[in-house]
A and B are shown apart, each in its own frame.
Chain A
Amino acid sequence: MFLWNLIKQDRGGQVLLALLALAIIIVPILNSLPSDHPLHIPTYMVAVMGKYLTLALLALSVDLVWGYLGILTLGHGAFFALGGYVMGMYLMRQIGDRGVYGHPELPDFMVFLNWDSLPWYWMGLDQFWFAAIMIVLVPGALAYVFGALAFRSRVSGVYLSIITQALTFALMLAFFRNEMGFGGNNGLTDFKDLLGFNLQARETRVGLFVASAIALALGYLLCRAVTQSRLGKVCVAVRDAESRSRFMGYRVENVKLWVFTLSAMIAGVAGALYVPQVGIINPNEFSPLNSIEIVVWVAVGGRATLYGAVAGAIFINYAKTWFTTELPDVWLFALGAIFILVTVLMPKGIVGLLRRKESNT
C-alpha cells in the first residue's frame, strides 16, 4: 500500500518497475533457450545487461543529489568504485589457495610484493555479511566526512564540483600505489566465486542480473520515497533558494549531508554489483572522467525525474557499447555530440521529449 502510493502518480516509475519485473522473468527464460533458438540471449549479453542496470543505479544516486538537491557532484564514481573495491576484496578472499601462488590466505599480488600477512583492512572481508555492511558503510563514511567539511563551510556551486573531482582524482592516485594494498594499477581480478557460486557459471550470471534488477527497483523506490517526503520538498527548496530555506529555519548543511551520504551508499551498492559482472575493479574506476560521464547520463535522460536517470544511463551505455565495438575512435566525439544536442535541443532530456509528445496528443 505504501509502495503503491509512492508510484501512484508516477507513470515513468510504473513503466520502469514493470519493465524490471518483466526482465527478471523473461531474461532467465530466454537465456535458457537452446543457443540456436532465434530468441536466445547469450550469457555474455545477460552480464552486459546486468552491468547496465548497476550503472543505472549509479545514475539514480547522482540524480538524487544533483536533480533534487542541486549539488553537481563530479565525484560519485569514487563511491561506486569504493563499493566495488569492497566487493572485490571479498571476492579475492574467496579465491583462497586457488591463486597462482597457492597461498592459503594472501591474494596473489600480496605474495608478489613479498608481504607475509594480510593488512588489517582486509580482515573480516572473507565474510559476506561483513563485506555487505562495508559496501554501504565505506562510501557512506567517506561521503559523510567529505560532506561535513564541505557543506558546513558552505562550499557550493562550481567550487564544490571541483572538490568532488579532486576527491575522486586523489583516490585514483592512492589506489594506483602498490603499497596501499589494493593491487595497484592491476586492481583486483581473477575472481572465482561469490557465496560459493562459480562466477563463470551461467546460473550465477543470471542470478547477478536478477539481483541488479532488484537492487535498481529497490533503489528507485527508496529515492522516490525520499523525494516524495517532506524532506524531498526541502531538498527542492534548497536547490531553488538555499538562503531562503535557511531563513525559514532549515539546517541546509544537514539536509545536504544526509542526502549526499545516502546517495553515496546507493552508489556503493551499484559498484558492488558491477564488479562481479565485469570481473575486475581497478583504479581507473576512480578516473575523474567517469564521474563526469555519469552526470552526462543523467542530463541526457532528464534531471530530477529519477527514471530519466535510468533511461539516460542505459541509453548512453548501450550507445557506448555499440560505438566501441563498431567505431571505437568516434565514441568520445559521439558522447560529446549527444551531450551538446541534448542540452541545446532538449534541456529536459529524453524524458522531457516523451512528456512533451504525451501532452501534445
Chain B
Amino acid sequence: MSQASLLNEIKDKNRVFSFMQTQASPVLNVDKQILLYLEGLSVSFDGFKAINDLNLYIRDGELRCIIGPNGAGKTTMMDIITGKTKPDTGSAWFGQTINLLELDEPAIAQAGIGRKFQKPTVFESLSVYDNLVLAMPDERKVFSLLFAKLNGEQKDRIDEVITLIGLKENHAMRAGSLSHGQKQWLEIGMLLMQKPRLLLVDEPVAGMTHQEMDRTAELLVSLSGSHSVVVVEHDMDFVRQLAGKDRTVTVLHQGSVLAEGSMDQVQNNRKVVEVYLGE
C-alpha cells in the first residue's frame, strides 16, 4: 500500500484499516459444476519436481480416486490445495471465485476444504468428544472460543457423528489411547463435523480390517453427491470398491497425470501397467 493511501485511511477515523481486516474469501460459486480446478501446477523441492505441470478438475459432488506409486506427488498435491505448500507455477481455484493460492491454511479450511492426513492426526491428549467439538466449524475467533457453549443442535450433531464412527462408548477416552483404526475413524468423524464441501482423504484405510474398509467405502460413497470427495489410496481392492463401474480414477506419476478413466480403462492402460510393474 502506498503511503498516501495509508495516510488517507488513518485520517478517516471510522474506517477499519485494511491491514486489520481479516481476509474474507468470496462466496463459493460452482455454476460450471466444477468444484476444484488445478491447472499447470508445478512445485520442486531442491530441484526435484514433485509436481510437474499437473492438471486436474474435480466436479461438484464427485467421488474421485487417485492412485499412483510412492512418491508420485499425491500428498504434495493435497498440500498445495490446503495451503501448506505454495506451488512455483500454476493455479488452484475452489469453484470459480476462490483463488486458493491467495489463502492460508485456516482460510482454506474455513472456505470449505477438509483434509484427512496420511498419518492419522487427532488431538491426542483431548477426549474423543472434545476432538469432535473442536472440529465443528461454528467458532473460530479467540474471544468467542473463550465463551463458547454447545447448544442442543450441536450436541445432537456430535452424537450423530460419534455413533456413525462407532466411538460412542469411547467418547470420554483420550484420543491418544485409541487404536490405529479407531484414530482413522475419529479423524473421519472430525472431517464430517467440519462439514466441508470438498474432502481430501489421504490413505484412509491403512491399518483397517476388511469390515472397517467396507464401512469406510460405504461412508465415502454416501458422502459424495452432497460433497466432493478425493481419495488417495494404495489398496487396489478398496479403490475398485469405491470407483465401481463408472467413477473416474486418476493415476498420478512423477507429479503429473498419467491416465484418467474408469477403473477398467485405467487398469488396462499400457503406460499404467508399465509404471506399476516397472517399479
Q: Which residues of A contact B (CB under 8 A)?
A: 226, 229-231, 233-234, 236-237, 239-241, 243-252, 254-255, 258
Contacts and interface: CB of A to CB of B under 8 A. Distances in A.
A208 to B, nearest CB: 31
B194 interface: yes
A85 B140 CA distance: 37
Nearest to A257: B142
Interface in B132-147: 133-135, 137, 139-143, 145-147
B53 interface: no
Contacts of B141: 254
Q: Which 10 residue pairs of A and B lie closest in terms of their CB atoms, listed nearest first? A: A249-B109, A246-B105, A231-B145, A230-B148, A249-B110, A237-B123, A231-B146, A244-B121, A258-B142, A230-B145
A248 B134 contact: yes
Interface in B97-132: 104-106, 109-110, 114-115, 117, 121-126, 130
B134 A234 contact: yes
Contact of B142 (A237, A243, A254): A254
Contact of B130 (A231, A233, A243, A254): A233
B215 interface: no
A251 B108 CA distance: 11
A1 to B, nearest CB: 15
A251 B125 contact: no
Contacts of A233: 126, 130, 133-134
A252 B148 CA distance: 17
B115 A247 contact: yes
B49 interface: no
A249 B123 contact: no
Nearest to B147: A229
Interface residues of B, number: 32
B106 A246 contact: yes
Interface of B: 82, 84, 104-106, 109-110, 114-115, 117, 121-126, 130, 133-135, 137, 139-143, 145-148, 190, 194
B228 to A, nearest CB: 17
Contacts of B106: 246, 248-252
Nearest to B127: A233
B146 A243 contact: no
B194 A248 contact: yes
A258 B141 CA distance: 11
A247 B82 contact: yes
B269 to A, nearest CB: 33
Contact of A240 (B123, B133, B142): B123
Given A240-B126, A248-B109, A251-B106, 10 more contacts: A229-B147, A230-B139, A230-B145, A231-B146, A241-B121, A245-B123, A251-B140, A251-B142, A255-B142, A258-B143
Contacts of B105: 243, 246-247
A243 B143 CA distance: 21
19 contacts: A230-B134, A230-B139, A233-B130, A233-B133, A234-B134, A236-B125, A237-B123, A237-B134, A240-B123, A241-B124, A246-B106, A247-B84, A248-B106, A248-B134, A250-B106, A250-B140, A251-B140, A251-B142, A258-B143
B134 A240 contact: no
Given A247-B105, A249-B140, A250-B140, A229 B145 contact: yes
B121 A234 contact: no
Contacts of B137: 249
B124 A240 contact: yes
A231 B134 contact: no
A236 B145 contact: no
Contacts of B130: 233
Contacts of A251: 106, 140, 142
Contacts of B139: 230
